[in-house]
């Protein structure tokens, strides 16, 4: 009986102790006591203060420990190679952009940062010259600041050979990769940020299966070469730039099997490839429902664009400025792309349209030189201009490019589906409410309007 009572009391005390914040120095003492290469399990609870790890150990919070930096500087700084930080809740970095405070900052390689939950952080994970590191399955949420004052969710700086995968990042600036090569960036979900994935001078990387939704730009590659983007979904990136994928001065880029949906611009190419002997390969992507499907600077050349499906973009392809896209190839091995506005036909049934696809929208060409006219898109007046151009061939501009073998049917692309499916019930309810409301008003106002004979007798 007493024994049971003792256990209950000590358990209660433990709970009370667990509820009160402790100093991070307790943790530092645990780490000091642990031999290198061992695992330090952080006792459950909340720790206040900033932690520096300078010994190759595994620090495991098992999802029950929180470290709160108290709003000053970095929270965890990793100063030596071979450290793993796992299963911690981390919050409360400083907020001054110029000092770049991070929830976890690694200054050495072979670091593993996984299964952490990072909140209220200016920078989430910052790897500085930390090659061969892994950033995996972390949830990172930025501070509620205006975009210009936020920090990066994940930043790599001169860190080659890293793996960044399965992270979920919300409301930060960028996931940005500086001067880092041979990376794997896979299956990350980035929302509400500036650039979902941002590459600066970072070459030879695989970008696979990421989902970038509701950012200003999905993926922006700058001055980065030999990058393969496959199986990514870029949805609803409609900020100031608003690109699903943007390429600036990048050589030897391959885009394959990506879905670029409902962005302001699906794919934006600015002077890529920029070197003479390189080429871009853009194949088997779905580019759908964007304001502009494919936008390029007029000097763009040497991209091979084939097997893609361009579906219901307001403008399928456009240049920003006067010029055309004729120096790119729109077919390979006799197969071009699917264009949802293709008006031709396929009489011989070989799956290729018998007429070339040659977009020559008068309104598009007007907009290229008179940007103010974009005010009138989505209006009947725009349709009137296009109609006039069709009726009066001398008004038609020369084609922006030629797809000699447009696909007659939409290719079946093995594409990622995205995870943004939502319940159909609210919309169905709205529909029913609209119809039902109208019907009720009709009934109420048309019923009971006539004289009821027989019910009343007049003396």
Partner 1 sequence: MSAVPQTVAIESNPRRRSYAGGALAFARREFRDAMSSRWFLLYTMAFSALAVAVSFMSLSGAGSQGFAGFGRTTAGLLNLIMLIVPLMALIAGAGTIAGERERGTLLYLLAQPVSRTQVILGKYLGLALALVCSLCIGFGVSAGALAWRAGGVGLGSYATLVGMTCALALAMLAVGTLVSAMSRRTGVATGVALFVWLALVFLSDLGLMAGSILFKLRVQEVFGLGALNPLQAFKMSVIVSMNASLDVLGPAGVYASQAFGEGLPWLLGSVIGAWTIVPLAVAVGAFARRGSV
Partner 2 sequence: MIRAEGITKRFGRVAAVRDVSFELAKGGSMALWGSNGAGKTTLIRCLLGVMRFQGAAAIGGVDVRRCGRTARSLVGYVPQELAFHDDARLGASMMFFAGLRRAGAGAAAASLEMVGLRGHEHKRVRDLSGGMKQRLALAIAMLSDPPVIVLDEPTSNLDAAGRGEIVEALRGLRKKGKTLLFASHRPDEVIGLADQVLVMERGAVERRTTPAELWPSAKGVQVVRLHLAMATEQAAAQALREAGHAVHLNGHGLCVAVARDRKAAPIHALARANIEVRDLEVLEDVTMPEAES
Where do contacts with partner 1 occur on this chain (CB under 8 A)?
Answer: 235-236, 238-240, 242, 259, 261-262, 264, 286, 288-289, 291, 311-314, 340, 366-367, 370-381, 383-385, 410, 415, 417-418, 420-428, 430-439, 441-442, 445-446, 449, 455-459
Report whether 125 contacts 139 (CB < 8 A).
Answer: no
Residue 388 near residue 363 (C-beta atoms within 8 A) = no
CB 396 within 8 A of CB 390: yes
Residue 36 touches partner 2, criterion: CB under 8 A: no
Over its C-alpha atoms, the chain yields an Rg (Å, rounded) of 29
**If binding is defined by CB under 8 A, does position 456 make contact with partner 2?**
yes
Which one of partner 2, partner 1, none interacts with residue 378, CB within 5 to 8 A by kind? partner 1
In whole angstroms, the minimum distance from the beta carbon of 445 to partner 2 comes to 12
Q: Does residue 343 touch partner 2 according to CB under 8 A? A: no
With CB under 5 to 8 Å by kind, the binding choice for 452 among partner 2, partner 1, none is partner 2
Say whether the peptide bond before residue 273 is cis (omega within 30 degrees of 0).
Answer: yes
Tell me the closest approach of the beta carbon of residue 440 to partner 1, in angstroms.
9
The residues that bridge with 254 in the sheet, in sequence order, are 228, 281
Q: How far is CA 208 from CA 19, 125, 252, in A?
A: 42, 20, 17
Please state the closest distance from residue 242 (CB atom) to partner 1, in A: 7
Strands 39-41 and 58-68: parallel
Q: Is residue 449 within the footprint of partner 2 (CB under 8 A)?
A: yes
Helix axes 380-391, 362-369, angle to 10 degrees: 110
With CB cut-offs between 5 and 8 Å by kind, which of partner 2, partner 1, none does residue 445 bind? partner 1
Q: How far is the CB of 457 from partner 2 (least distance, A)?
A: 8
Picking from 243, 339, 331, the residue whose alpha carbon sits closest to that of residue 295 is 243
Q: Residues for the chain: how many in total? A: 459
Q: Which does 289 bind (CB under 5 to 8 A by kind): partner 2, partner 1, none?
A: partner 1
- One of 5, 33, 276, 453 touching partner 2 (CB under 8 A): 453
Q: Which does 312 bind (CB under 5 to 8 A by kind): partner 1, partner 2, none?
A: partner 1
Q: Is 322 in the site for partner 2 (CB under 8 A)?
A: no
Q: Choose among partner 1, partner 2, none what residue 423 binds, the Cβ cut-off being 5 to 8 Å by kind.
A: partner 1
Annotate 115-182 with DSSP letters as a single string: S-EEEEESEEEEEES-TT-EEES-EEEE-S--GGG---SEEEES-TT-EEES-EEES-SEEEEES--S
CB nearer to partner 1: pick between 17 and 427: 427
Q: Which is nearer to partner 2, 322 or 452 (CB)?
A: 452
195, 176 Cβ separation under 8 angstroms: yes
Tell me if 444 contacts partner 2 by CB under 8 A: no
Residues 6+ apart with CB under 8 A from 267: 243, 244, 245, 247, 255, 260, 282, 285, 287, 293, 294, 295
Shortest Cβ 455–partner 2 spacing (Å):
9
**Residue 317 C-beta: closest distance to partner 1, Å:** 16
Residue 173 CB, shortest distance to partner 1, in Å, is 19
């Amino acid at each position: 009986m007493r024994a049971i009572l003792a256990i209950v009391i000590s358990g209660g005390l433990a709970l009370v102790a667990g509820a009160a914040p402790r100093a991070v120095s307790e943790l530092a003492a645990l780490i000091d006591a642990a031999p290198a290469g061992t695992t330090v399990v952080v006792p459950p609870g909340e720790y206040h203060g900033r932690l520096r790890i300078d010994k190759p150990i595994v620090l495991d919070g098992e999802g029950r420990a929180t470290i709160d930096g108290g709003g000053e500087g970095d929270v965890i700084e990793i100063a030596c190679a071979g450290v793993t930080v796992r299963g911690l809740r981390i919050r409360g970095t400083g907020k001054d952009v110029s000092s770049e405070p991070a929830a976890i900052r690694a200054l050495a390689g072979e670091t593993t940062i996984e299964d952490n939950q990072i909140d209220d952080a200016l920078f989430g994970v910052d790897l500085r010259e930390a090659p061969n590191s892994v950033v995996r399955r972390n949830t990172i949420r930025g501070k509620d600041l205006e975009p210009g004052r936020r920090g990066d969710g994940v930043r790599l700086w001169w860190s080659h050979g890293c793996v960044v995968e399965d992270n979920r990042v919300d409301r930060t600036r960028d996931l940005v990769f500086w001067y880092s090569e041979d990376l794997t960036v896979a299956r990350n979900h980035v929302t509400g940020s500036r650039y979902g994935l941002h590459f600066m001078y970072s070459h030879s990387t695989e970008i696979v299966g990421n989902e970038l939704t509701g950012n200003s730009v999905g993926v922006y590659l700058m001055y980065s070469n030999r990058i393969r983007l496959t199986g990514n979904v870029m949805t609803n990136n409609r900020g100031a730039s608003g690109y699903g994928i943007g390429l600036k001065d990048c050589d030897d880029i391959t885009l394959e099997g990506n879905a670029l949906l409902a962005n302001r611009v699906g794919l934006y190419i600015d002077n890529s490839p920029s070197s003479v002997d390189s080429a871009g390969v853009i194949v088997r992507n779905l580019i759908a429902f964007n304001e502009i499907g494919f936008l390029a600077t007029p000097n763009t050349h040497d991209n091979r664009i084939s097997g893609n499906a361009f579906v219901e973009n307001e403008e399928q392809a456009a240049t920003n400025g006067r010029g055309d896209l004729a120096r790119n190839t729109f077919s390979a091995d006799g197969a071009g792309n699917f264009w949802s506005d293709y008006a031709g036909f396929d009489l011989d049934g070989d799956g290729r349209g018998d007429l070339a696809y040659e977009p020559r929208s008068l309104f598009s060409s007007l907009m290229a030189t008179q940007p103010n006219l974009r005010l009138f898109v989505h209006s009947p007046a725009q349709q009137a201009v296009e109609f006039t151009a069709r009726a009066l061939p001398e008004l038609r501009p020369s084609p922006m490019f030629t797809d000699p073998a447009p696909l007659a049917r939409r290719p079946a692309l093995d594409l990622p589906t995205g995870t943004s499916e939502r319940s159909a019930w609210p919309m169905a309810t709205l529909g029913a409410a609209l119809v039902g409301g109208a019907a009720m008003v009709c009934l109420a106002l048309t019923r009971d309007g006539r004289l009821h004979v027989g019910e009343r007798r007049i003396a």
